[in-house]
Every structure is written in C-alpha cells, then in structure tokens.
Amino acid sequence: MSDTPHLPHDLLASPSFQLEKLRRRTRDFVEKDLAHEGFNLREYWVLTYLVDGDAASQSTLGEVIGVDRSDMVRLVDALEQRSLAHRVKDPKDRRRQIISVTKKGRKTQGTLSPIVRDAEDRALDESTSKQLKHLKKLAKSIIAAEEEDEAASLGDTDDIDDIDTGDGNGTDAPEPAGRD
C-alpha cells in the first residue's frame, strides 16, 4: 500500500489545487536553499523588488509581495539589522516609510538570485523546457489580466497600454482633438 493518499479527481482537475501544490513544492525547495544562506523567500522578494527600482514605500512592498503591515515591519527590520536595506520617513508624509536597498543588499540579492533560480529549476525538474516556457507565459498573462482588471476598477487606464483595437498602435486612446 502506498503512503501517498488518494487524491479525488475533482482535486486533480482543480487549477487552484494544482497551483497550490506547485507553489508549495517550489517554495519548499527555495526556502530550504535560502535558509542555508540565512534568508527566507520574503526577504529575497523584498531585496529583488528594491534592486529593480530606486526605493519603495513599506506599504507598496507589502502589497507587492502579499504581506500584512506587521509582517512587513518585521521583514524590513531584519533587512535593516543586516544593513541590506535602509528605511527613512517620507518627507512628504511622515506616516510613510520609504525603503531602499544598500550596496550590501544589492550584492546579497545578486548572490541569492542564482540560488533561487537553481532551487526553482530543481523543484520543476521533471517538467520539460517547453512546459516551463508555457507555464511562465500563462502566469504572466494571468497576472497582467489581474492588473488590468484592478486598473479598470479604479478607473485608471494609464497602465493599460496593450489593448489591441485593430488600429495597429496597441492602444484605445482617443486621438487628440484637432488632428485630421
């Protein structure tokens, strides 16, 4: 008898169940490898976000990586204690905290990035290159659609520039007045 429990067909056919299993497997591999370096995945995500940009508010970082305020404070505290990030009050709004990456944080992220990629590759080792390419493309399109939905619900269409209206310019913005 197998130690693996029987999974009902409805679970196996469920995208949310499948994605959760994939997320858990990938995260377990990555967390294990990052732990050897003294880090966790959320710390890596924060460093990666900050390395890609100049700085970000603490609340923006929390939204991006899906962490509540109190956990975000602890994450930034941990990065600050290791001199990987720096937190200052926003001069325009004293309630806001602006987080930036330090040189040491930038170097650390560069060291951790291949470790994360390798762990993700091992977690998905049984997948073919074509399957992984398709998975990444699918994930990007789902995330893009979610961002478009959020922007549309807020009435903000500035970020939606990939709408194809058949005119060849990739936008549905009206032509400026007075142009014939």
DSSP letter at 67?
Answer: -
**Has residue 178 got a pLDDT over 60?**
no
- Nearest Cα neighbor of 37 from 107, 124, 111, 118 is 111
- Please give the distance of CA 2 from its chain centroid, rounded to a whole number: 36
**Has residue 171 got a pLDDT over 50?**
no
More confident residue, 104 or 176: 104
Average pLDDT, the chain: 83
- The pLDDT of 21-45, averaged and rounded, is 96
Count CA within 13 A, CB hemisphere, residue 178.
0
Per-residue pLDDT at 127:
74
The Cα angle at residue 127 between residues 43 and 20, in degrees rounded to 5: 50
Q: What is the DSSP string of 9-32?
A: HHHHT-HHHHHHHHHHHHHHHHHH
Per-residue pLDDT at 179:
38
Structure tokens at 78: 């941990």
DSSP letter at 177?
Answer: T
**65, 49 in Cβ contact below 8 A?**
yes
What confidence category does residue 142 fall into, taking pLDDT thresholds of 50, 70 and 90? Answer: confident
What confidence category does residue 146 fall into, taking pLDDT thresholds of 50, 70 and 90? Answer: confident
What confidence category does residue 129 fall into, taking pLDDT thresholds of 50, 70 and 90? Answer: low
Per-residue pLDDT at 9:
86
- Of all residues in the chain, the percent with pLDDT exceeding 70 is 84
Under DSSP, is residue 125 helix (H, G, I), strand (E, B) or coil? coil
More confident residue, 39 or 158: 39
